[in-house]
Structure 1
């Protein structure tokens, strides 16, 4: 019997902040038997999306369709669930389609698409309800990077709405999307390498990219070089098995997956912060400022004294940062279910008193001083004197962290933890 995944149609995502670069990459992926899909979301706020489908038949003949899609609710999620996911299921059943390429709009994060493909059940006339992942297999994500602009975009704090890329209600920053697109890539195509202002700036950009996506293949082109099918094929084959290959991250996956370089280069350095005692919530809140300037991105698991049973996930990009609850420590729910990766991580950090509770954060610096970041986190840990006061004292420390928090934020005033989530949710970061 043929394995089920071999019956699925291979799916490639093309992502990036520059839609022109994404279009060139998609064109370089065109081959007989390919369907190339794109959705232009620039008018999504008014409930209208322009969808294009370019089919290259097995005999090499081209067919192109352009349609306006009307949505009841104008948002990215509605576009995926009401149009793209059903379309993937339909294209899978077209006899001339051997591969699907989806060129994502600049505001779409590929990891979210991967989750939707895997999990979201959609209805298609004439078919039983199912997830698109039953029909297509996301095998590759290609990210296009404009060398002259990307690092500034990935380290700023402007929102997508302020940049004119999305609707006013979209509070995500350009940096969040830029970092997420590269991090989920299996191949990175760097274009306009001659627009960085010099060899050192290009080397610094490369130092960031290879630490952000260490398992990805990479090709760098200047303005006179053409991205063609042969070059694209070589780029797709240059990655490693350590890149995502369509698999979304989980909170207990290794933070240094892909074996990134931990040595500094052009002022860029990837550092780790580990702690075997909890953070004091108010001091940690102050320490987070160290991550909002001169840092490309930070991510990791936090143990906070006022949330002793909760695993909190920190993630930053440029000048924006978020913290959210992603589960419970095994020591707090020993009878609960956990995947093997979670249990393996717990075993590495197990303590006779605190169990698997610990903090582990990676920080990708490009201007910030690593020693200052480490010192800020060290100063935020609870002291021996505070530990001696016992778990009840620690659990009742005033805290700005509920189940979700974003920075920068207004000064924290309330010590009533029952209202913290309402105070932090929906803040414009």
Structure 2
């Protein structure tokens, strides 16, 4: 068993294992990751996923140049887990239920267990051995949470009915966003949820997949990849088999594999208003009827923020 420091994300450990060489071979040839478990405190998880504090403000920075926030780090640890263990000590049952609901919405692909002296129910007191979920999150075919939609995996779940106040909603669209309207809406979109993740496209930059990565009151947009519709057929194998299958199954004669798939998770979200706002940012029927040549030349406040080979996201909106 490997226990990593609180500020280290599972993705970092897995990537390091894949690139760390021993006698010329990657460490993963000798060490198999069977399961990733993230433990969260039922008493603090809500505060930790909603704070705008940085890790260094809590003395938790992994390195001198670590500019990550507490919320984004905690959420990514949860998203990177096969099992989330909610530790219940010194809290009432509602707070435990709230922490469990939040965990289930943030990482619906993970198994959520409750343990600790205050955990309710007889099953919560059973030994954890045998109840941990095996390695699923780090299957070679499953991408990181923000990019799951590109490979045909859902980026979240649709749960509009509040569970202890926690709501999760999905927004799907084929038509592109209008760059100016989307840019103007980003400040309010960034503050409407604890977590925003997924991908989209905008009319003026139709070749690029734009990733959405929001937590702790900030929303960051950056280039994930190129749409397969924008690359030659002979380059498709580089995208991997899962993404090729997903693109083929959902291929549109006009848009190709371009689409928007976003998940918003938060407390008491007004999902109707949120969907209406996102819908208003898409190209209208009249704008689509003008044709791609015209809507690709709409005024674009993003400018050259997105590039085909970009590594870190560059458009950061903080509420």
What is the TM-score with the length of structure 1 in the denominator? 0.63
Give the aligned partner of residue 214 of structure 1. Answer: 108
Distance 1:287 1:268, change over 3 A: same
**Alignment pair present for 1:408 and 2:303:** no
Give the aligned partner of residue 162 of structure 1. Answer: 57
Give the aligned partner of residue 190 of structure 1. Answer: 86
Alpha-carbon distance between aligned partners in 2 of 1:382 and 1:224, rounded to the nearest angstrom: 51
Give the aligned partner of residue 270 of structure 2. Answer: 369
Alpha-carbon distance between aligned partners in 1 of 2:158 and 2:178, rounded to the nearest angstrom: 31
Shift of 1:278: 0.5
Name the Cα RMSD after superposition. 2.7
Structure (1/2) with the larger strand percentage:
1
Give the aligned partner of residue 14 of structure 2. Answer: 114
Larger Rg: 1
Alpha-carbon distance between aligned partners in 2 of 1:133 and 1:392, rounded to the nearest angstrom: 48
Deviation by residue 1:68-116 (Cα, 9 ceiling, x = unmatched): xxxxxxxxxxxxxxxxxxxxxxxxxxxxxxxxx2211111110121122
Shift of 1:407: 2.6
Q: SS at the partner of 1:382?
A: coil
After superposition, where does 1:188-337 map in structure 2 within 5 Å? 188-195=84-91, 198-223=92-117, 231-236=127-132, 239=133, 243-245=136-138, 247=140, 249-250=143-144, 251=147, 252-256=150-154, 260=157, 262=159, 264=161, 265-335=163-233, 336-337=235-236
Distance 1:193 1:394, change over 3 A: farther
Alpha-carbon distance between aligned partners in 2 of 1:155 and 1:162, rounded to the nearest angstrom: 15
Deviation by residue 1:44-66 (Cα, 9 ceiling, x = unmatched): xxxxxxxxxxxxxxxxxxxxxxx
Alpha-carbon distance between aligned partners in 2 of 1:350 and 1:246, rounded to the nearest angstrom: 25
Distance 1:231 1:383, change over 3 A: same
- Whether the aligned pair in 1 keeps the contact of 2:100 and 2:112 (CA below 8 Å) is no
Q: Which has the higher contact order (CA 8 A, sep 6+)?
A: 2
Alpha-carbon distance between aligned partners in 1 of 2:160 and 2:4, rounded to the nearest angstrom: 34
Q: SS at the partner of 2:72?
A: helix
Gaps of 5+ in 1: 1-100, 410-428
Count of matched residue pairs: 297
- Whether the aligned pair in 2 keeps the contact of 1:139 and 1:246 (CA below 8 Å) is no
Alpha-carbon distance between aligned partners in 2 of 1:179 and 1:144, rounded to the nearest angstrom: 12
Alpha-carbon distance between aligned partners in 1 of 2:58 and 2:110, rounded to the nearest angstrom: 28
Shift of 1:140: 0.6
- Whether the aligned pair in 2 keeps the contact of 1:161 and 1:169 (CA below 8 Å) is no
**Alignment pair present for 1:390 and 2:298:** no
Q: SS at the partner of 2:208?
A: strand
Q: Judge which range, 274-283 or 163-172, deviates more.
A: 163-172
- Whether the aligned pair in 2 keeps the contact of 1:282 and 1:398 (CA below 8 Å) is yes
Gaps of 5+ in 2: 120-124, 308-312
Distance 1:245 1:325, change over 3 A: closer
- Whether the aligned pair in 2 keeps the contact of 1:300 and 1:313 (CA below 8 Å) is yes
What is the TM-score with the length of structure 2 in the denominator? 0.83
After superposition, where does 1:33-44 map in structure 2 within 5 Å? none
Alpha-carbon distance between aligned partners in 2 of 1:304 and 1:371, rounded to the nearest angstrom: 22
Shift of 1:232: 2.6
- Whether the aligned pair in 2 keeps the contact of 1:331 and 1:357 (CA below 8 Å) is yes
Give the aligned partner of residue 380 of structure 1. Answer: 281
Shift of 1:190: 1.4
